[in-house]
């Protein structure tokens, strides 16, 4: 077995961070959580910050907070996004509508979005994909003019900015994720950020509650495995184990919200500087890849909206023939080319069961599910691998 295989996405976990996690594992103090909360409030201009076990858990609470503000109503989700977004809506018992996505820009289709808001969706979840900012002003104009509220799910937005503001700082309600492939990672974890209108009822106790010891041990195990195996020299080993389903999009029922583990918070606190450096490396690699492909390749790239600075968590590419268009598909996979989400949310049975009648017309999302793939942008991509990847993309057959 060839162990070297490029990771589709990479979030740095430093040896220093791992050492600190082991030194402080299972402590009962909330000092590091308080420090992380203060950092998030400062970095993302938030009035209130609540830490959870995952971004999906934070999104569940975000929907409930939105209902507190505008009344319980249908929830509009993007037709094409991470399945965990659908799982969060299912977990809170939401009645779901799906608005479409522009396949050229990954932006919400404003006509589609406006239709559902006019028809009574008072909560809209917006999920910028792969660190590509959306035009938040256009979305906010549609939503607020009709008395709705937008939840900014910036799970993939680390290192991205719009109008010189970081993704995660746009909405009255924002969500961050610190999972394995989210740019800044604690191995797991998520945050709910609130602005204006005071805090949310029922969340005050969340800030003082602690994770269970069993959850801490589980977090420590997964964090260690991520540090050991999350490098190209050995990534081929876990990637070859079918039941791990690495690189695959699988629907999983959302767990009930729990506090962030001390292990995850400690890792996040220790890895902050490394995550900032990694974001710089992603932008540099993405710029080099895009410059090499400009007007030379049949591969379609995603258009960036004005005033946006993408974080390039991955580099999304439209491949009309999928992997079969590559001269050597196996090598493309080994270099980190990976499929995006395999279907629209409306094709996921658990989401479909919660769909309102007529809430599933998404030609843009369908096109993306057939053609959208991603290439790695992270710092572990060597110069030689980047050149080889460019050559494969230049030779892509349409």
pLDDT tens for 37-48 read: 999 999 999 999
Specify the range with the lowest mean pLDDT, choosing from 148-162, 214-228, 381-395: 214-228
Residue 9 CA to residue 5 CA, distance in Å, equals: 12
Q: Which residues of 48-118 form beta strands (DSSP E)?
A: 48-52, 74-78, 96-99
> Containing H/E element for 192?
strand 190-194
| 116: its two tokens | 């559902």
Phi–psi pair at 140, nearest 5 degrees:
-65, -35
Residues in the chain: 398
User: What one-character-per-residue DSSP string does 10-65 give?
Assistant: -----HHHHHHHHHHTT----HHHHHHHHHHHHHTT-SEEEEESBHHHHHHHHHHH
Return mean pLDDT, the chain: 92
Residue 1 predicted with pLDDT over 70? no
- Region 315-322: mean pLDDT is 97
Exposure string for 29-58, b = 16+ CB within 10 A, e = fewer: ebebbeebbeebeeebebebbbbbbbbbbb
Residue with tokens 């906010």: 140
Residue 25 predicted with pLDDT over 90? no
- Region 59-83: mean pLDDT is 96
pLDDT of residue 211: 65
Residue 344 CA to residue 82 CA, distance in Å, equals: 9
Residue 392 CA to residue 389 CA, distance in Å, equals: 5
Helix (H, G, I), strand (E, B) or coil at 109: coil
Count of CB atoms situated within 10 Å of the CB of 127: 24
| 133: its two tokens | 């900012």
- Give this prediction's pTM: 0.95
Longest dimension (CA), the chain: 57
Phi–psi pair at 321, nearest 5 degrees:
-110, 15
Residue 37 CA to residue 34 CA, distance in Å, equals: 5
Helix (H, G, I), strand (E, B) or coil at 52: strand
Partners of residue 301 on adjacent β-strands: 317
Residue 213 CA to residue 350 CA, distance in Å, equals: 31
**Angle at CA of residue 348, ends 345 and 354, nearest 5°:** 80
Domains of the chain in sequence order: 15-394 (3.40.640.10)
Residue 251 CA to residue 91 CA, distance in Å, equals: 12
| 365: its two tokens | 């999302």
Specify the range with the lowest mean pLDDT, choosing from 41-50, 195-204, 259-268, 336-345: 195-204
| 110: its two tokens | 């404003």
pLDDT of residue 77: 97
Q: In angstroms, how far is CA 118 from the centroid of its own chain?
A: 28
Q: What is the share, in percent, of the chain residues with pLDDT greater than 90? A: 80
Residues in contact with 21: Cβ distance below 8 Å, sequence separation at least 6, in sequence order:
220, 223, 263, 266, 267, 270
**Angle at CA of residue 31, ends 84 and 254, nearest 5°:** 15
| The CA-based dihedral angle spanning residues 361, 69, 169, 264, taken in that order and rounded to the nearest 10 degrees | -90
Handedness of CA 195, 11, 258, 134 (dihedral sign): positive
- Region 285-302: mean pLDDT is 93
């Amino acid at each position: 077995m060839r162990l070297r295989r490029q990771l589709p996405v990479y979030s740095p976990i430093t040896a220093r961070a791992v050492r600190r996690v082991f030194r402080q594992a299972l402590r009962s103090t909330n000092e590091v959580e308080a420090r992380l909360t203060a950092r998030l409030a400062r970095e993302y201009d938030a009035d209130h910050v609540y830490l959870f076990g995952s971004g999906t858990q934070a999104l569940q609470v975000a929907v409930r907070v939105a209902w507190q503000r505008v009344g319980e109503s249908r929830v509009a989700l993007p037709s094409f996004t991470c399945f965990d977004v659908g799982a969060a809506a299912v977990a809170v018992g939401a009645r779901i509508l799906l608005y479409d996505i522009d396949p050229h820009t990954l932006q919400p289709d404003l006509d589609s979005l406006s239709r559902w808001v006019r028809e009574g969706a008072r909560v809209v979840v917006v999920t910028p994909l792969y660190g590509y900012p959306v035009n938040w002003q256009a979305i906010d104009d549609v939503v607020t003019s009709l008395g709705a509220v937008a939840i900014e799910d910036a799970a993939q937005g680390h290192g991205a900015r719009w109008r010189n503001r970081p993704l995660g700082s746009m909405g009255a309600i924002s969500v961050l994720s610190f999972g394995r492939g989210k740019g800044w990672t604690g191995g797991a974890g998520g945050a709910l950020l609130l602005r204006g209108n005071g805090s949310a009822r029922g969340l005050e106790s969340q800030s003082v509650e602690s994770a269970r010891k069993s959850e801490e041990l589980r977090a420590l195990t997964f964090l260690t495995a991520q540090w050991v195996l999350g490098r190209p020299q050995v990534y081929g080993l876990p990637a070859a184990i079918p039941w791990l389903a690495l690189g695959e999009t699988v629907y999983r029922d959302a767990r009930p919200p729990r506090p962030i583990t001390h292990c995850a918070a400690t890792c996040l606190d220790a890895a902050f500087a490394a995550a900032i450096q990694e974001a710089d490396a992603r932008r540099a690699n993405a710029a080099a890849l895009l410059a090499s492909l400009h007007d030379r390749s049949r591969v379609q790239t995603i258009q960036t909206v004005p005033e946006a600075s993408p974080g390039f968590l991955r580099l999304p590419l439209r491949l009309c023939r999928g992997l079969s268009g590559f001269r050597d598909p196996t090598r493309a996979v080994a270099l980190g080319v990976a499929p995006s989400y395999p279907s629209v949310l409306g094709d996921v049975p658990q989401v479909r069961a919660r769909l309102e009648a007529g809430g599933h017309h998404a030609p843009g999302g369908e096109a993306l599910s057939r053609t959208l793939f991603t290439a790695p942008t992270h710092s572990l991509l060597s110069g030689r691998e980047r050149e080889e990847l460019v050559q494969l993309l230049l030779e892509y057959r349409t």
